[in-house]
């Protein structure tokens, strides 16, 4: 059991490479993100659902070469997607063709250099 609130994510991927998250549901985390990606590279997040999580749908920190594509991020208590910097920051992150709907704080929270990520084809409400 992980101690304390805000550490109970549906899935945590850290210090990993060549990971694909495909056609899964990461919903209703009572004390965390749908998925937390940290210190990893070559990650594909495709055709998943991230809904009703206490924090954000997807949280990324210090990741490289990440594609987040054709996902539904809906009704999360914070953001649909967060790009954060713990030490090195993120690099080459593509967020494309997703539906980011009704997330309480907004679609994105970007705490990294805006040149390291691309946002296109997303539906935001």
Assess whether pLDDT exceeds 60 at residue 6: no
> Which one has a higher pLDDT value, 4 or 53?
53
Q: Lowest-pLDDT range, 30-44, 68-82, 110-124?
A: 110-124
What is the tens place of the pLDDT at every residue in 45-77? Answer: 999 999 999 999 999 999 999 999 999 999 999
| Cα–Cα dist 125/122, whole Å | 10
pLDDT attached to residue 116: 81
Token pair for residue 22?
């495909």
Query: What is the pLDDT averaged over residues 15-23?
Result: 98
Q: So where are the chain's domains?
A: 11-124
């Amino acid at each position: 059991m992980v101690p304390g609130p805000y550490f109970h994510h549906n899935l945590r991927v850290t210090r990993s490479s060549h990971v694909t998250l495909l056609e899964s549901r990461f919903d209703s985390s009572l004390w965390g993100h749908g998925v937390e990606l940290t210190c990893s590279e070559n990650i594909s997040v495709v055709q998943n659902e991230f809904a009703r999580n206490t924090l954000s749908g997807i949280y990324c920190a210090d990741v490289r070469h990440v594609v987040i594509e054709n996902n539904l991020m809906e009704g999360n208590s914070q953001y649909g997607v967060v790009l954060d910097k713990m030490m090195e920051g993120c690099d080459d992150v593509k967020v494309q063709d997703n539906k980011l709907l009704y997330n309480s704080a907004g679609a994105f929270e970007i705490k990294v250099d805006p040149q390291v990520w691309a946002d296109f084809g997303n539906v935001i409400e």
